[in-house]
Every structure is written in C-alpha cells, then in structure tokens.
Amino acid sequence: MHPAPSIIFFTVFSGLGFGMLAFLGLGKPDVSGFTAFIFFAIAYALAVGGLISSTFHLGNPQRALKAFTQWKTSWLSREGCLAVATLIVMGLYAIGIIFFHTRIGILGLLGAALCVCTVLGTSMIYTQIKTVPRWHHWTTPLVFLGYALTGGAFLTGQVRVAAAGLVTIGALQVISWIIGDKRFAEEGSSIETATGLGSIGKVRMFEAPHSSKNYLMKEMVHVIGRKHARTLRIIGVVLLSLLPWTILMFFPFSHVLAVIALLAHVAGALTTRWLFFAEAEHTVGLYYGQR
C-alpha cells in the first residue's frame, strides 16, 4: 500500500505519546509540579500531534468529527473514542500531580489501561483488513503495542524496561516480517480467485484495466524492490533496536547518549513503519498484475 507520510507520522508519534502517558499513569517517573508538567506536555504533544496528523489523510478533513459516530462497527471510530477518553482521564490525573502534588492512583491506572487500549485500537484498524494478509495477523497488534511501550519507557527514563523492550520489539519485528512474507501466498489469492475465472483454467492479464492511474492504484498498489526492502529492514532494525540497546547497555549513562539512542530508535521506527505500509500487498493489486 502507499506509505502516506501523515499515517506514518500518526502511528509512530501517537504511539510514543500514549506509551509515555501509560508510564506516567503508573507513576514512572515519580514527578510532580513543573517537572511533571514538562513530561505530560511532551506526551500530549506527541499523542495529540499524531492524532491531528492522521486527519490530513482524510478526503474531507473537515468531516473528521463524523469518525466518532461509527464506534459500533469501525475500529477507526473506536480508536478515536478511546483516544479522547484517554486524554481526558490522563488530563485529570495530570492536574492533580502538577497543581496539587497529589497522585490519584486509580485514575492513573485507568489512564494507563486506556493508553494500551488506544494503541491496540490503532493496530486493529489494520489488523482487521482481511484483504491485506500481511496485516491480518496476531503479530500486528503486538508490534504496535511493543513500539508504544518501548518508546514510552525510553521517554520516561525507564532504562531497564526500555532495554528489555528494545530486544523484544526487534525480535517481534523480525518475526512479523518472516511470517508476513508468507501470508499472501498462504491466503491462496491469485488472479484466478480475484476474477472468479479459475474454474476455466489459467488466467493472465491481457492489458491493464485502466489507461491511467486511479484511486485504487494510488492508495492500494505500491511495489518496492526486494533488494531495497531487505536493505531498509536491516537499517530499520539496527536503528530501532540494536544501536540504542548497545548505547544503553555498554556506555556510561549521559543525557547526550540517551538523546542519540532515542533519536536512533525513532528513526528506526519511522523506517520500519514505512515498510509496514510499503510492503503490504492488497488483493486488489491482482487486477493490475501486481501484489
């Protein structure tokens, strides 16, 4: 599928924001007053900034509020409702910590749980799409959640948790690629099944269905060379997991190195999330002689 920058920004940075809020809800780190304000401001900037960026991918951004009305059937709507609920609960929790130096534990736990649910809601937008076999698998929500919690641990200074998360998310990402590369073939989709003409024999494309590109070709059909994909995967995992883990484990702690490790992790997340969309084979591509 076409890797739209707004959606990449949304899924990466909103995940970081909600992951950070989850740790703040658990009292990690134990801060109050102005220091707490800085932490919550960063988390809200990431979460809200990511959510706002997603509206730029809408055909009519001014109708974004209508997305909240379909919560019974749409994971996009559910994610929006969960995000708003999370921001409200965590906002009340933050007010107590910042202005009254009072931590309402039950509110923090509820907010942390809602953060996790929001990230899972985001992942389900893609997981439930059966026409993209690579996404329609249990690895997708685990990868989304792993990215969010690892980034959240990083941003809240939870070094041990972040180090364990880096190893975990690196392994999860590799596993999702190994499984994902086989998913389209395992589903058995082909030009024969797509056209419904398999019963009469082998089907091949005589010519393209359209003389010019249309919406489906722009949004659903994107081809990346195997060689380039392999290179980007290596770069992504090194930046996402190996480099920051090495910095955290084998170098004396310093704020400069911590920032370098965080920036490398975010760069890796952006790279692998670009691949998440670019490598997704939609079954509609079969009508155009592509996957």
Which stretches of 101-225 are DSSP H helices?
Answer: 105-127, 139-155, 159-187, 191-195, 215-220
State what percent of residues in the chain have pLDDT above 90. Answer: 65
24 within 8 A of 40, measured Cβ to Cβ: yes
Q: Supply the DSSP symbol for 222.
A: -
- 40: tokens are 């919550």
Model pLDDT, residue 59: 67
Which range has the worst mean pLDDT, 2-6, 26-30, 134-138, 251-255? Answer: 2-6
In 3D space, the residue among 50, 107, 40 whose CA is nearest the CA of residue 80 turns out to be 50
pLDDT at 291 over 60: no
What pLDDT, in 10s, does the model give residues 91-118? 999 999 999 999 999 999 999 999 999 9
Q: How far apart are CA 123 and CA 2, in angstroms?
A: 17
Model pLDDT, residue 67: 75
Model pLDDT, residue 184: 83
The pLDDT mean for the chain works out to 89
Tell me which H or E stretch contains 24: helix 5-25
48 within 8 A of 18, measured Cβ to Cβ: no
What pLDDT, in 10s, does the model give residues 213-235? 765 666 666 666 567 889 999 99
151 within 8 A of 265, measured Cβ to Cβ: yes
Model pLDDT, residue 204: 73
Model pLDDT, residue 114: 98
Peptide bond preceding 29 in cis form (omega within 30 of 0): yes
Tell me the domains of the chain and their CATH numbers: 5-288 (1.20.1630)
Model pLDDT, residue 54: 82
Helix and strand element counts for the chain (H, E): 11, 0
Q: Which position has the higher pLDDT, 209 or 169? A: 169
State what percent of residues in the chain have pLDDT above 70. Answer: 87
Q: Is 31 helix (H, G, I), strand (E, B) or coil?
A: coil
Average pLDDT for 20-25? 98
Model pLDDT, residue 201: 77
Model pLDDT, residue 103: 94
* pTM to 2 decimal places: 0.90
pLDDT band at 145 (very low <50, low <70, confident <90, very high): very high
pLDDT at 289 over 70: no
In 3D space, the residue among 81, 86, 105, 90 whose CA is nearest the CA of residue 30 turns out to be 105
